[in-house]
Amino acid sequence: MQERNRIVVKVGTSTVCHPNGAPNLRRLEKLCRTISDLNNTGHEIILVTSGAIGVGTRKMGLSHRPATISGRQAAAAIGQCELMSIYDRLFMDYGSLSGQILLTKDITEDETGKQNVIATLRALLEMKAVPIVNENDSVATEEIVYGDNDTLSAVVAIFAEADVLVILSDIEGLYDSDPASNPDAKLISIVRDYDKAHQAASGSHSEHGTGGMITKIHAASIAREAGIPTVLASGTDPAILYDICDGVPAGTLFTVEGENE
């Protein structure tokens, strides 16, 4: 078992928010407590969080995400404030500093900007602060949008030279068939062949069953290029991060060549 010290943790909207878009305070509280506790034992955690548009939509009193791009960008602007205010308070409660970094996709092509982000991440980690990253949804246009934080989290893992990328989602991991339609579907604990995993996920008929699985496998492939393994696990109980840090099997591990299992 290999201990993992520097970890990028991505939490999706379904982990951070209730189905009605309101922030899931119980879960956020546990997430911040676990991350702060891991920080206290010398781990370095970078949080990539979604939820800005969901939280903003609800705060604007709307029952659905705005249909227009500018409406969603406004929702993100409102929701990002709310989200950061919650994270800041919770991390403060547990004695951790946190700081916000909002990125757009063009950062990978802008060498100076990229080096600045890398330096900021390093500086935050050196002062034991938790960097909290999201896409800058209010600025991103069609040409420079990640659109999903799975891909963004893989880019952040590479910038941060993380030991592991952890994607916490509303599904336990990757299944050999769609668990929504097949009660005998089995969780795959280790993925070595990413193409095969991709095919399995594309073969699923249920949107719910795959749960955005393709973008997660894509993110794992990007991380693997840099030698970073990915763990896909359920975000229902954020305490799962303790196991992942200790190298204890959890969810699905997308392994990289040469990693000890």
Shortest Å, Cβ 173 to ligand GLU: 18
CA 197 to chain centre: 19
Q: What is the Cα–Cα distance from 125 to 97, expressed in whole angstroms?
A: 10
Q: Which is nearer to ligand GLU, 124 or 132 (CB)?
A: 132
Q: Which stretch binds ligand GLU (CB under 6 A): 44-52, 91-99, 100-108, 230-238?
A: 44-52
The neighbour count for residue 127, using CB atoms within 10 Å, is 9
Site for ligand GLU in 110-149 (CB under 6 A): 134-135, 137, 148-149
- What is the bridge-based pairing of β-strands 252-254 and 230-234? antiparallel
Q: Which one of 21, 51, 131, 238 is in contact with ligand GLU (CB under 6 A)?
A: 51
CA 42 to chain centre: 21
Shortest Å, Cβ 258 to ligand GLU: 30
Roughly how many angstroms between the first and final C-alpha of the chain, as a whole number? 6
Q: Which one of 7, 9, 11, 13 is in contact with ligand GLU (CB under 6 A)?
A: 13
Site for ligand GLU in 190-219 (CB under 6 A): none
Site for ligand GLU in 60-119 (CB under 6 A): 76
Residue with tokens 């891991």: 38
Shortest Å, Cβ 75 to ligand GLU: 8
Q: What is the Cα–Cα distance from 202 to 9, expressed in whole angstroms?
A: 24
Q: Which stretch binds ligand GLU (CB under 6 A): 51-59, 108-116, 228-236, 237-245?
A: 51-59
Shortest Å, Cβ 137 to ligand GLU: 5
Q: Which is nearer to ligand GLU, 102 or 185 (CB)?
A: 102
- The contacts found for 205-213 with CB under 8 angstroms, 24 or more apart, are 205/178, 205/181, 206/178, 206/180, 206/181, 208/180, 209/175, 209/178, 209/179, 209/180, 209/181, 210/178, 211/169, 211/170, 211/171, 212/12, 212/148, 212/150, 212/169, 213/171, 213/174
Q: Which is nearer to ligand GLU, 76 or 253 (CB)?
A: 76
Shortest Å, Cβ 83 to ligand GLU: 8
Total residue length of the chain: 261
Shortest Å, Cβ 51 to ligand GLU: 5
* Tokens encoding 40: 């206290």
Q: Which is nearer to ligand GLU, 39 or 149 (CB)?
A: 149
Q: Which one of 34, 50, 138, 204 is in contact with ligand GLU (CB under 6 A)?
A: 50
Q: What is the Cα–Cα distance from 44 to 100, expressed in whole angstroms?
A: 16
> 101 - beta bridge partners?
133
Q: Which is nearer to ligand GLU, 77 or 125 (CB)?
A: 77
Interacting residues toward ligand GLU by CB under 6 A = 12-13, 50-54, 76, 134-135, 137, 148-149
